[in-house]
Amino acid sequence: MEMDIYRLVTGPVAWLAFSIFFVGIIVRAVLYIKGLDWQLDRVAYKPQGKYGIRGAVRSIVSWLIPFGTHSWRFYPFFTLVFFTFHIGVLVVPIFLQGHSILLKERFGFGMPTISDFSADMLTIGVLVAAVFIVLRRIALPEVRIITTWYDYLILAIAVAPFLTGFIAAKGIGDYNFWIISHIIAGEILLVAIPFTKLSHFILFFMTRMQIGMDFGIKRGGMKSKGMAW
């Protein structure tokens, strides 16, 4: 029975989850671009593309570097927590050895892998960072007032694959139960990304690109080139 469930969640359900994820991300990206106001946003991007691209790259790179922006430097401890969480969330699923083996078995291709020790450290980092993120939402009034159950649910969806995978990898309890739970949690995460705040997986880059282009073209980036704005 458990083997049948395993084959199901690593076969048809996995294909469905990946399909929803990729199609959903593409749709979100297209809708974001189509939603840009032609007069306020897109009208300047094409004729002033050089300045726009320069501003977009600068914006994205600055936000991808710890302490690369004033916002990151303002809360140094949370910046470390934030980057620890996101680095782990991105690196472990893509480069975990077990995931690469599963990809080869089910889809015919694999990925470069990291060591089990590195995966363990990154997973622990994700779990510890998640605790601090929750504590921050509880402790800081300016964050607590805008936090709802939805935010905790999204965090739980993001963390569940790491917690269940770590438990399974360390042989705690019933391995079959935890590995199936881990796979299902991962598939729930994939499906949730296009439909929830987790879509910032792709929209982060698009919003930073737009803001960077705005500043690169409209707000002083061109250094008084005669443009109306």
3-state secondary structure 130-171: HHHHHHHHHHCHHHHCCCCHHHHHHHHHHHHHHHHHHHHHCC
| Residue 60 pLDDT > 90 | no
Q: What is the mean pLDDT of residues 184-208?
A: 92
DSSP state of 74: H
| In the chain, where the domains are located | 2-217
d(CA 165, CA 215): 42
> Tokens 């690109």 correspond to what residue?
209
Q: Which of 69-73, 137-141, 152-156 has the lowest mean pLDDT?
A: 69-73
Summarize pLDDT for 76-116 with one digit per residue, the tens. Answer: 899 999 999 999 999 999 898 888 887 777 777 778 889 99
d(CA 190, CA 225): 45
Q: Is 55 helix (H, G, I), strand (E, B) or coil?
A: helix
Detail the DSSP E strand segments found in 19-173: none
Torsion of CA 19, 21, 26, 32, to 10 degrees: 150
Looking at every residue in the chain, the average pLDDT score rounds to 85
d(CA 88, CA 93): 8
d(CA 166, CA 179): 9
> Tokens 């929209």 correspond to what residue?
203
Q: What is the pTM of this model?
A: 0.84
For residue 37, count CB atoms less than 10 angstroms from its CB and return exposed for 0-12, middle for 13-18, buried for 19 or more.
Answer: exposed
Detail the DSSP E strand segments found in the chain: none
- DSSP element (H, E) containing 68: none
Helix axes 149-169, 76-95, angle to 10 degrees: 50
Distance of CA 190 to the CA centre of its chain: 10
The residue type of 190 is: L
Q: Which of 15-29, 45-59, 156-170 has the lowest mean pLDDT?
A: 45-59
What pLDDT shows up at residue 226? Answer: 47
What pLDDT shows up at residue 196? Answer: 94
Class of domain 2-217: mainly alpha
Which of the four pLDDT bands, split at 50, 70 and 90, describes residue 220? Answer: low
